[in-house]
Amino acid sequence: MTPPQVQPPVSFEEYRLYYETTEKVTERRLSMNRWNYSVLTASLLAIGVTLGWASSHDTFLLAGIIGVLVLSAIACVMCFFWLRQIDDFKALNTAKFEVLNSMAPLVIFEGASGPSSAQSFNCFGKEWQELSRVQALQAPSASGFVRGLRSSSAERFIPRAFGAIFALIFLSVVTFSALSWDNVTDHPSPFSNSEQPEKKGK
């Protein structure tokens, strides 16, 4: 019968350094959320400016519609990848905390006269158990369930809301173009007006 393998002790310094990498992942996720939010807000403003400009200049209507469709499509793709990034960061953080939980019972503390008799309280593991007890875990994701706090749902709401807005803009512009196709194609380019008088003069 093979004796059970005894896990070697873990230095508290290694435990602390690994915890710092977990904090950095959280900071990167928040920074990524801010960047995506800024880019999509700017895209929404750009679409509003393009729609206003195209509606006030008939000769630029087709160019404006194409511009809005392209911006909306790109923004929808960005929203999809934003959601994937959130899932990836959450999964990475979950894995890191599971490693921390498995390290905690093995941590040894160094005192002035050598190793201390202090034992790790395994605070992350106990915190996780308490959260599970109050059913504050399990945020839905595309691949089943990713373990995370319920705040994950709020974090995912913003890219979903942006995606719905851009998809609605895209569909509205397509519908408007289909219903007003003759008006849209009257002046396919801003130079079409300047060409017509020359033809009449001839």
Question: pLDDT per position in the chain (202 positions), as tens?
Answer: 555 566 777 788 888 888 888 889 889 999 999 999 999 999 999 999 998 887 787 777 788 888 999 999 999 999 999 999 998 988 888 888 888 888 888 888 776 666 666 677 777 777 767 666 666 555 554 544 444 555 567 788 999 999 999 999 999 989 988 887 777 666 555 555 544 444 444 4
pLDDT at position 49: 92
pLDDT at position 144: 47
* Domain boundaries, given as residue ranges, for the chain: 10-109+123-183
Quick check: 147 and 94 in contact, CB under 8 A?
A: yes
Q: What are phi and psi of 137, to 5 degrees?
A: -110, 180
pLDDT tens digits, one per residue of 112-137: 666 666 677 777 777 767 666 666 55
pLDDT at position 56: 80
pLDDT at position 146: 45
Quick check: 138 and 145 in contact, CB under 8 A?
A: yes
Quick check: 47 and 68 in contact, CB under 8 A?
A: yes
CA 53 to chain CA centroid, nearest Å: 30
